[in-house]
Structures are given as C-alpha cells and as structure tokens.
Chains A and B, each alone.
Chain A
C-alpha cells in the first residue's frame, strides 16, 4: 500500500471532471420532473449529444460549436418526446424508453465515420496568477469552461425555481396541472420548454464525455450514466444542490476507489467497486428524511379538456 502515490490535488480535480456529465444530465432531468414530466430518455439524449457534439467539433475544428451542437441535438431529440407525450398524449415511461433505444441506435449510425478520430481539444481556463496558485489553482481555476457552466446551471436552476415567477409556474405545473391550467397557465407549453431544457442539458453532458472526459467517439460510450442521473434526481429529492452533492459524491468515490486500487490499499476490490453506488444512495437517503417528495403530477398525462 502506498497512499502517498495519490496526489489529493489531482484527485479532486479529476473527480470534478468525472462528476460533470452526471451533474448536467441530472439537473436537466430535475427541471423536467419538476414540471411533472418523467423522461426516461436521458441516456438516449446524452449519447445523441455526445455524437452531435463530437461530429460538429471535428468538422468545424471548434469545440465550442460542438458543445452548442450537442445541446441542440439533445434538445431536438427531446422534442420528439415532447411531441409524443404532450401532443399525442402517449405514455411517458414507454416514450422515454423508446427515446433511449432510438438515441442509441441513431448515434451508432451517425457515428460510423467518426470512430478513431481525435477531436479538437477544448482549451482549459488559464487565469494568470489564479491558475498558478498551489492547490487552489488546479482545483478551482484550471478546468474546461463546460465544468463551470455545469456549476452555473445548478445555481441558476436553484435560483429560478426558488425565487422567480417562472420557477413558481413551473413548480405549479408539476404539482397540480389542473390547477395551473385553471389559473390560465399553458401547461403543455411550460412542459415542452422544460423537456427541451432537459434535452439540452443531457446533450451537453454527453458531449462532455465524448469531447472532454474521454475524448473520442465510441458507440454506446455513455454506458449508463443517463440511468444513474435519473436515479440521482430521485435520491436528491428534486433539489438542485443535492444533485450537485450527489454527483460529486458519486464521481468522487468512483475516482477515489480507482486510485485506492492503484495504490494497493488492502480493502477487497468488490467493496471498493460498489462504494460509489452504496455511499451516494446512503447519504442522499439519510438527507431526504425530511418531507420533500416527488412533484404530485409527475408522470401524469395532461389534456386541457379534462
């Protein structure tokens, strides 16, 4: 065992990177669910974002354009879900699952000519003085811009949901769509906007994997992050800051257990491998002992005539 081989600064820096795709996908889904819609297609939207972002970044050699394309790709795919569930009033669970399958298949098709290609690198933040600070520099001031965007989205989502009229309307739609409708709010429009936001966030999360974290395109490369994001939203009791905590906890433990294995710590590998799932769920479940529950209209179909 050689714990000194683990560099805590690098560890914290890499856990932030590992947590970001999960964080982005989960905060998007949180907004969707707050509006009363259950979209199980997160995995599908992520992988579409991963390939759209990758393809555009390679073609234009601009990672920023790739990131935009990823958000657009995720949002366009989620529009399909919005059409099925909000206009055609299809079952949300079935539509979401279909969206995941469709996304995985379509991304494999789109990505065929991008296997083995290297994407243009996303420049890392480099602030003179600040980025060079010991310890604080590598942890806080030398990441890629998307990581900060992710943190900003968490803060913005929290503020909008808590302090603004728009957030109030969104929550009203999610808690009781009939009442919101009776008050004159356009339930379907609010929900479609929320679904689009969720799609864009998931797409961004996917592109983070294909453009920054790995960076390459491989079929099925999101490998289940979308499903973990869905679970995270529930365990985080639909609260933005808990999503952040959960994502960092999960990402952190994932990276930490890999590091501990490499350092040869004498804990059986099986326990290390399951620790991210176990500890994240445990912490969030204990925290959610208060009365916060799911949005009351979650997953229910709304039609103005009802």
Chain B
C-alpha cells in the first residue's frame, strides 16, 4: 500500500466517520439555572432526557447550565451551533434577542426560544399558558387565606410574570373580595437566599399564602419554617414540601413538545411555529392538590382545571378592568392572545406599579 492509497483510505474512513456522526441529530439546550434547581430548569432537563429516551442513538443532546441572560448566552449558542447542533432550545425569556442574533448567523440550524415572541425563518417560539395554573392557585389561595394577605414573589417584570399575577389575583378576588396582594420583585430567576428573604418579608408582613414565580424551592422552606403558611410548587411539583406547606403546584411538561420538534428536524418537516399550549394539551400540569386543602375547595379547583382544559372557561373572562379603572374586557369577553402575550398592566384592585 503506497502512501497515496493510505491517505485515500484514511480520508474515506474519516468521511465515513463524519457521515455516521452527521446522521445523529444533535440537539442543544441552554439553561438559565442549574439542572438541580428543582424547578424551571429541572423540568426542561426532564424534557431533554425524554428526547434521549425517545430517540436513543439517533440523537445526541448537549446542554449548558447557569447561562446568564446577556452576551454570554450568545457565545454559548454560537459554540453549540459551531459544534454541529441541528436544533437548539433556548429556555429563558432573557435569551430572546441573543437567539435571534445567533439564528441569523446559522440559517441551517433551527432554534426554539421559550416564552418569547420574536420568530424568524429558523426560530420558533413556544410557551405554556401558566396563567391557567395561576387561576387555580388564586382560587385556592383566596379560599384558604385567613389573614386575607397573599404574598407573591415575582422575578422580572415581563408579560409572563405579569399575566401570572393578574390571573392569580383575579381568581383570588372572585372568591374572597377582601384579599390583598403583596408583590415583591426580586429581579432574579434563581437565588435561594434572596427568595427566602423575600418569602420571610412577606410572611412577617402577614401573608399566609406564598406564591412564587422564581425557580428554587427556598420559598417553600420559608413557608414550612413559618408553620402556618401555604405555598405552591412552581414549574416543578416540589412534592417534597407537600402535603403542607405545598398544597398544589404548576408543573411544566416540555417533553412531548421537545420530542415533536426533534422529530420534525429529523424528518425535515420543521417549520417556524408559535406554540402556546395550556392545561388542555398537557403542557401545563396541575400538581396533586393535597388534603390540606378542604374537600369543597379542592373539588372547585379540580372543576376549574377541567373547564380550563376543555376550553369551556378562559382564565381571563370579562368583566375585567385595568388598574386605572378603564374597561379591558366587557362582560363575557375573553382576552385575545396578542394582548396576553404583551401584557404590561395590572388589573383593577392590584396596588403599585408594574416596574418598567
């Protein structure tokens, strides 16, 4: 075997090897927190694992955790694309512009951005109608509070969080006209110590229900330490804090969507989509309502879950006024997705301003 032949066969082997690798669909995930946060990122990673289970050796997944919502995110996505990812899920609202920027540079790579609203030829967006779950939480919270004070730990003033506050308040108020919401913005998705401090501040000011829109289980621990405060699992079931203080939860179920989209890339049928699914299609799950909740309240909550799921009831059904008293939705009118997607106002009765 002369040298040229050797080179040729080496090239052939290398070529075979690359084509074998290329057949594997590579899927990347960019996470905002650690996979062990027990909440938001944990559930996205469960989705990733479901993709691995569904396709086995045909798929290769990579993920990077704790990626800050800034220039770093762009670097991570670029790196993934350069390493041959075919599909990249960017799983936090704050990655929106970075996703669009990187997608422009890699037209052959498909991107999926969670909870955002900017799409492109190779960028889809997907989100879940968490506000449906918030409606159920608001109902239970309004029924169960004895101090009529509900504490809400909010992360960033983005539409997704504001929708949650409005939905919870609307349904708490409906069953308990005296209810008052205390809202703390912590400006972080994940900082257990700060989340615990916020929960304690709310509890010290009389809240006996804690709702959280942050990712760690720290507020659950604070509620437990207080002893007479109930809480709800966020993003993940957080069942380890049940049956009390955690009385129910909103569970994000990304697995079916992630499997679908990976399959679409494999089949070459991927197109830009804007998915926003709720309780009905199963993207939002309501964690088991524990026995700490009175049976009649539990039954009402389950009925609401059912109606939200079937589409019989919309979480934002008029009459609803905006905070300044102007009419948002007339009697019987339901909110359209456009307004919901860009929601930047409180509804009537909530105090304080939405931060810019």
Chain A complexes with chain B: yes
Interface footprint category on A: 35 or more
List B162-218 residues whose CB lies under 8 Å from chain A.
182-188, 190-194, 196-198, 200-202, 204-207, 216-218
Chain A neighbourhood of B355, CB < 8 A: 268-270
A21–B66 Cα distance when bound, in Å, is 22
Q: Which residue of A lies closest to B191 (CB)?
A: A223
Tell me if A14 and B204 are in contact (CB < 8 A): yes
Chain A neighbourhood of B318, CB < 8 A: none
A225–B192 Cα distance when bound, in Å, is 11
Q: Which of B34, B182, B193, B356 contacts A209 (CB 8 A)?
A: B193
Q: Which residue of A lies closest to B66 (CB)?
A: A220
A255–B196 Cα distance when bound, in Å, is 10
Q: Which of A10, A218, A224 contacts B37 (CB 8 A)?
A: A218
Tell me if A115 and B36 are in contact (CB < 8 A): yes
B326 to chain A, nearest CB (A): 21
List A61-75 residues whose CB lies under 8 Å from chain B.
none
Tell me if A261 and B184 are in contact (CB < 8 A): yes
Tell me if B197 and A221 are in contact (CB < 8 A): no
Q: Which residue of B lies closest to A117 (CB)?
A: B240
Interface footprint category on B: 35 or more
Chain B neighbourhood of A209, CB < 8 A: 192-193
Tell me if B201 and A213 are in contact (CB < 8 A): no
Residue of A7, A221, A262 ringed by the most chain B CB atoms within 10 A: A262
Tell me if B35 and A221 are in contact (CB < 8 A): no
A263–B241 Cα distance when bound, in Å, is 27
List A39-57 residues whose CB lies under 8 Å from chain B.
none
A146–B241 Cα distance when bound, in Å, is 26
- Say whether B352 faces chain A, with CB atoms less than 8 Å apart: yes
- Say whether A6 faces chain B, with CB atoms less than 8 Å apart: yes
Contact mask A268-287 → B, CB, 8 Å, 1/0?
11100100000000000000
A215–B192 Cα distance when bound, in Å, is 9
List A213-234 residues whose CB lies under 8 Å from chain B.
213-216, 218-225
Contact mask B6-46 → A, CB, 8 Å, 1/0?
00000000000000000000000000011111100000000
Tell me if B204 and A264 are in contact (CB < 8 A): no
Q: Which residue of A lies closest to B41 (CB)?
A: A219
- Say whether B151 faces chain A, with CB atoms less than 8 Å apart: yes
Tell me if B205 and A213 are in contact (CB < 8 A): no
Tell me if A254 and B194 are in contact (CB < 8 A): yes
Tell me if B204 and A7 are in contact (CB < 8 A): yes
Contacts A108-B34, A264-B182 given; does A218 touch B192 at CB 8 Å: yes
- Say whether A111 faces chain B, with CB atoms less than 8 Å apart: yes
Chain A neighbourhood of B353, CB < 8 A: 268-269
Contact mask B42-81 → A, CB, 8 Å, 1/0?
0000000000000000000000001000000000000000
Q: Which residue of B lies closest to A256 (CB)?
A: B201
Q: Which of B190, B198, B206, B221 contacts A216 (CB 8 A)?
A: B221
Q: Which residue of A lies closest to B220 (CB)?
A: A216
Chain A neighbourhood of B190, CB < 8 A: 220, 223
Residue of A5, A111, A117 ringed by the most chain B CB atoms within 10 A: A5
Q: Which of A7, A11, A218 contacts B36 (CB 8 A)?
A: A218
- Say whether B351 faces chain A, with CB atoms less than 8 Å apart: yes
Tell me if B184 and A258 are in contact (CB < 8 A): yes
Chain B neighbourhood of A218, CB < 8 A: 34, 36-38, 192, 216-218
Chain B neighbourhood of A116, CB < 8 A: 38, 217, 240-241
Chain A neighbourhood of B191, CB < 8 A: 223-224
- Say whether A259 faces chain B, with CB atoms less than 8 Å apart: yes
- Say whether A164 faces chain B, with CB atoms less than 8 Å apart: no
Tell me if A219 and B36 are in contact (CB < 8 A): yes
Q: Which residue of A lies closest to B216 (CB)?
A: A218
Tell me if B197 and A258 are in contact (CB < 8 A): yes
Tell me if A5 and B206 are in contact (CB < 8 A): yes
Contacts A216-B221, A223-B193 given; does A270 touch B356 at CB 8 Å: yes
Chain A neighbourhood of B66, CB < 8 A: 220
- Say whether A112 faces chain B, with CB atoms less than 8 Å apart: yes
Other contacts beyond A21-B193, A218-B38, A225-B193: 9, CB < 8 A: A108-B36, A116-B241, A214-B192, A218-B216, A218-B217, A220-B37, A223-B191, A258-B186, A270-B356
22 contacts between A and B (CB under 8 A): A7-B205, A18-B197, A116-B241, A209-B193, A213-B193, A218-B36, A218-B37, A219-B34, A219-B35, A220-B34, A221-B218, A222-B193, A225-B193, A255-B201, A258-B197, A261-B183, A262-B151, A263-B205, A264-B352, A269-B185, A273-B186, A273-B187
